[in-house]
Structure 1
Amino acid sequence: MADRVLLDGVNLQVRGGESAAVTGPSGSGKSTFLGCVLGLIRPSGGTVEVAGQDIARLRQRALERHRSRHMGVVFQFGELLPELTPVENVALAALLAGTPSGQAYERAEGLLAELGVPYRGVPTGQLSGGERQRTAVARALVNEPAVLLADEPTGALDATTRDSVADLLFEVPERWGCALVVVTHDPAVAARADVRVELKDALFVPHGAEVRP
């Protein structure tokens, strides 16, 4: 039995200051696409260029450095450490990237203040869902990435909080100058993006278009 092809010659270019949304049913290959962009999955062909570097050709240590410096990720459930304060969660990402402690905490506090998150003295686990996702966005931005990837970032939120977090995410390209790529099942979230594609039969298809046989 031949291996299943999840991505076949897909092409997506997102520049700094632009946003793109990738939609598609469960199992269509959205997670594989994210894994390729992050360098967690090496494609059998083609290039995956982030910040001028084809990450598919990097060795593991160089890949980890490039990912830390140039990519930020927001997950559906935040993936934060609940026992740490928001500023500790955000600063930790900068510290792991080699930023000096004082600078890491200063940058973390500035981002959290700008995003309206109470960051002193409160464990992250006690924040609301929206505040946790804003903390996750701050953590993803703390190393000033070239691209921000968001994997179902509003999937665990109620409608009001979803809209607030989506507002924030789609302000990111203009406010911070990075590219934004959102993977989502939510058509209302996807509709906010500059470019919207669907994964159909291993191809990226512009929203509303049909796959040609």
Structure 2
Amino acid sequence: MQVNSVLDVRDLHYSVAGRALLDGVDLTLPAGRSLAVTGPSGTGKSTLLNCLLGLIRYDRGEVRIAGKDLAALKPRNLARHRRDTIGMVFQFGELLPELTPVENVAMAALLAGVKRAEAFGRARQLLTDLGVPVEGTPTAELSGGERQRAAVARALVNRPALLLADEPTGSLDTRNREAVAELLFSLPERWGCAVLVVTHDESVAGRADSRFALHEGRLVAQAASFPRGA
């Protein structure tokens, strides 16, 4: 494992009904870098994320997040480690529509034990930085792009070492897809975290520092396709 590695996966295996979804996956991602995993639906991309989150007990192999082996952690310690080190962005945001954006974001910090004033302060600052209306507008009234930026803010509010995103642009139109993709892949430089995005969208994946296709349970390196700095 690299000294500055946030994510380190070794020989990861997971099968369902005799089908190997993950068949010896190896992956290393340091702080300040981004990585994309592509592949059509059903190839195991979301399964891989669930293994990294500690939500699936894999058959064998090793997953280390911020230096800790997930399989060696007891359930309570695993939940705490996940809360403290990982942020997650879902395809549809998974925000509470009746709350304001700042309430949605602050809630994640409050659940992590952050004091109310600090939680709301962090939420307001993140939303402002990411160009999302802070208060006065229910989340349900935001545009699709604004909701996803709010979801990114929520994932960042506890200052994770690793940010995971599962098809984060899949529900967006072309303009918002490009804006959210640009935001996600700017985060390693802006916030110093590692970012892993799983997507079927090649134009989104091409923005990552490195990219892989999940094929027959293994990660296959792909050439970069998006000009860096464009």
What TM-score, normalized by structure 1, do the two folds share?
A: 0.95
Q: Which residue of 2 aligns with 1:137?
A: 152
**Greater share of residues in strand:** 2
Total equivalences in the alignment: 208
Of structures 1 and 2, the one scoring higher in RCO (CA 8 A, sep 6+) is 1
1:123 lines up with 2:138 in the alignment: yes
Question: In 2, distance between residues paired with 1:11 and 1:115?
Answer: 33
Aligned sequence identity (%)? 63
- Please, what is the CA RMSD of the aligned residues? 1.2
Point out the more displaced range, 55-64 or 151-160.
55-64
Give unpaired runs (5+ residues) of structure 2. Answer: 1-15, 224-230
Give unpaired runs (5+ residues) of structure 1. Answer: 209-213
- Listed one character per residue, the Cα deviations across residues 131-166 of structure 1 (whole Å, up to 9, x for unaligned) are 000000000000000100010000000001100111
Deviation, structure 1 residue 26 = 1.1
Deviation, structure 1 residue 56 = 2.1
Deviation, structure 1 residue 2 = 6.2
Moved over 4 A (4+): none
Question: In 2, distance between residues paired with 1:150 and 1:139?
Answer: 12
1:96 lines up with 2:111 in the alignment: yes
What TM-score, normalized by structure 2, do the two folds share?
A: 0.88
Question: In 2, distance between residues paired with 1:46 and 1:160?
Answer: 40
Match runs of 1:35-50 below 5 Å: 35-50=50-65
Question: In 2, distance between residues paired with 1:203 and 1:58?
Answer: 26
1:129 counterpart letter in structure 2: G
Question: In 2, distance between residues paired with 1:25 and 1:129?
Answer: 23
Deviation, structure 1 residue 123 = 0.5
Alignment equivalent of 1:80, drawn from 76, 95, 109: 95
Question: In 2, distance between residues paired with 1:81 and 1:111?
Answer: 18
Question: In 1, distance between residues paired with 2:133 and 2:34?
Answer: 28
Alignment equivalent of 2:204, drawn from 189, 209, 212: 189
**3-state SS of 2:23 partner:** coil
Point out the more displaced range, 32-41 or 4-13.
4-13
Match runs of 1:16-35 below 5 Å: 16-35=31-50
- Listed one character per residue, the Cα deviations across residues 68-109 of structure 1 (whole Å, up to 9, x for unaligned) are 110001111000000000000000000111111111000000
- Listed one character per residue, the Cα deviations across residues 153-210 of structure 1 (whole Å, up to 9, x for unaligned) are 00000001100111100100100000000000000000011110011111111126xx
Q: Which residue of 1 aligns with 2:74?
A: 59
